[in-house]
Structure 1
């Protein structure tokens, strides 16, 4: 299995012009959250980002983050949620196959993390209302008012700038420098002009990536998604896993990933699954439903890809169109010409290319307002005019990676933690288990933000212990 060329070198001490308390590889939501929390703790850090502008998987996401017990949740009158209830929802979706200690750690940390970002760095969260995302038992999905991952990245980047946190862009980290006891001493990175530079550090956080952009790794580890469209960041090349293998670190849940069954084609945009949860349906080219859409958008990717040509149609009506238009990604897809308006079932069948009689039977089942054969219960039918969007299944990001302790320190194969190497976000194994069906809506940004928050706390302890005077 080929991965990126990521190496290690051994040294008794690091020869570097610059030393920093904490080096962070990756400037996405995980890396920037960690940097902001380190700043608040008075610990200096540097973020190293391979791109000219930090974006990563976060900028390509919807930017939605699930969290219990937040200020935003209380302001919306949502009560009865807790870290324990959230953890139970995560495990229920993963069928009990998510790492229990990490589930508890993330579910406990994410609320304080969002509140800290709001109170100390100006991120104003709103609670998405009116529907529940698949697998969530209470309304806990948070977003910025713009409701996009691009906006989330822009606000985090601006907050880091306001805090004076150094972000070194176009810096491709390719080598970890360690001593004989596997303590990280620093990193080597490549600059655009070909120069190689070294940065010394007391602790290192890998907040870099998964492996969804590495076609060979996907074919080997996720064969069912080998032909799926990858809609994540190209920087997801498996760097963290490559380093982990060289270090003898333990890997976890490499079969876990987030797919999506609603990637608008050929326009290349995401249509929010909220519309499905509110009553929309998916049909194949024959005009037939083929799965229970309320089970989750990640596993829906496989259901869609199993249809002829890997194509499905999202069908909805005017009230659901109004909901769809509350999401900027859908508005962009509509502006690009993805939305089809059909005044009748016959026109809708002509749009899809199916028999009107088959499509009519499908819509009659929805209108029955009872349990469909696959178990879905519909509250109402769809009324003309009908709207349709052509979609396919896609791979967004992987959920497996370096195994970590609940404090985000990377674990060796024997389960013991490395002294000062941490991993979180896409670099680490998440809380979705080892299959697409284990992905609970928002798990990606949950692990990024909560993981970054926890890693900052651990790195602060590591740095302070090194600085403490010895007697």
Structure 2
């Protein structure tokens, strides 16, 4: 894939103050924030309707010190949240960025809840790996599709223009300043749009197989579970104009995608006491490390396949997620009153599988150094065949406290901003640094900061 960078033509088809490329969570939140400041806003989206990676996720945003947490009696703050992020990423993140995101996440959730009436609530019946408090906020169905639909409706109610089926293909740039973009229509025609301020919310590069092979060789064989529109335009434009790029080897994987159904199975089935086995019926790693690392662990097994084992108690918790109910509906989840029956339903060798299950401790650590505290699995037993997948990239354009993009010389572009997957996140330098919700954390916070910034008005 190539992207063009040229000076703007003398005559443009459209002009606006703030132009947003991408109508995922980051782009729509940026649009709302910009609209509040009185800026004229236009959002362009390549898809027929806004969706993006947000719609493929569970739509959960981690935030500390929110009113939703307070209503549940959860004591949390930005400092603890920042510590959790840095611990998971082995302190590979830029501390200033971590503090920026964690200090602004809570106020951003409160803003969306109070001003725009998005009914966020906290998941309180299980813990996400690496989070020392329950701080995952989601809408009622725990679905990213619900989140994106709610944000789109909110933008429409605010009379923000969203033009779909327009893929940004050319960046207009001259004398150190962004002038606008050209977009391509479905019929192949182009339109030119000028702007005073450009916000790149077009996510990362997971849908660009050449870039994945170059920067993420560990996961190139994995299922691509992100949005196909994530082609790396922000990265490529950034390279072309001398922007600083950071942590391009960072990504979110997931080792619990039902196969061949392609449905995400919530990691709650693991955190509540479930395990994973390979085709031989044997466990192969410490599942408590996290679902991002699980992608590589699962793909390393024969045929890149594993089986996630849990029980009816855990399934009742997982049903708060729409994806899990869909997986049950299509028969991806196998259920049996006996372990022998479950092994037969999943095509696993019975005796090795029974030996594996018998070796799981009721409490304490196992041979993989995993700590078990939940009750032992009991009938009915459940299982699902899964594979590893790449969800989205976490490296990208380095940004300042207003989400403006840095140049390689340490200065910033006066009117170029980035959020979500287009920007460098806080997941360290690989997959193991990803803490649950990091993607939407960057989208929500950097999107809001980019939108509300008026420093481009010099």
Tell me if the contact between 1:366 and 1:382 (Cα under 8 Å) persists in the aligned partners: no
1:5 and 2:2 aligned? yes
1:189 and 2:183 aligned? yes
Tell me if the contact between 1:287 and 1:352 (Cα under 8 Å) persists in the aligned partners: no
Q: Distance in 2 between matches of 1:17 and 1:48?
A: 14
Q: Distance in 1 between matches of 2:274 and 2:333?
A: 14
Secondary structure of the equivalent of 1:152?
A: helix
Q: Where do 1:123-142 residues align within 5 Å?
A: 123-142=118-137
Match of 2:87 in 1: 92
Match of 1:302 in 2: 296
Match for 1:68 among 56, 64, 68? 64
Contiguous gaps of at least 5 residues in structure 2: none
Instruction: Kindly state the Cα deviation for residue 17 of structure 1 after the two structures are TM-superposed.
Output: 4.1
Secondary structure of the equivalent of 1:8?
A: strand
Q: Distance in 2 between matches of 1:445 and 1:395?
A: 16
Secondary structure of the equivalent of 2:276?
A: strand
1:272 and 2:266 aligned? yes
Match of 1:446 in 2: 441
Q: Distance in 2 between matches of 1:186 and 1:341?
A: 55
Q: Where do 1:223-302 residues align within 5 Å?
A: 223-302=217-296
Could you list the per-position Cα deviations for residues 270-298 of structure 1 after superposition, in whole angstroms to 9, with x for gaps in the alignment?
A: 00001211111111111111111111100
Q: Distance in 2 between matches of 1:118 and 1:39?
A: 17
1:358 and 2:336 aligned? no
Instruction: Kindly state the Cα deviation for residue 367 of structure 1 after the two structures are TM-superposed.
Output: 4.1
After TM superposition, the score normalised by the length of structure 2 is: 0.97
1:342 and 2:339 aligned? no
Tell me if the contact between 1:14 and 1:200 (Cα under 8 Å) persists in the aligned partners: no
Secondary structure of the equivalent of 1:462?
A: coil
Secondary structure of the equivalent of 2:29?
A: helix
After TM superposition, the score normalised by the length of structure 1 is: 0.94
Give the total of aligned pairs: 457
Match of 2:363 in 1: 369
Q: Distance in 2 between matches of 1:354 and 1:387?
A: 13
Match of 1:469 in 2: none
Instruction: Kindly state the Cα deviation for residue 96 of structure 1 after the two structures are TM-superposed.
Output: 0.4
Secondary structure of the equivalent of 2:202?
A: coil
Could you list the per-position Cα deviations for residues 234-257 of structure 1 after superposition, in whole angstroms to 9, with x for gaps in the alignment?
A: 001111111011101111111000
Contiguous gaps of at least 5 residues in structure 1: 467-471
Q: Distance in 1 between matches of 2:235 and 2:348?
A: 45
RMSD across aligned C-alpha pairs, in angstroms? 1.3
1:173 and 2:171 aligned? no
Instruction: Kindly state the Cα deviation for residue 195 of structure 1 after the two structures are TM-superposed.
Output: 2.6
Q: Distance in 1 between matches of 2:451 and 2:380?
A: 52
Tell me if the contact between 1:212 and 1:218 (Cα under 8 Å) persists in the aligned partners: yes
- Larger mean CA deviation between 23-32 and 365-374 belongs to 365-374
Secondary structure of the equivalent of 1:437?
A: coil
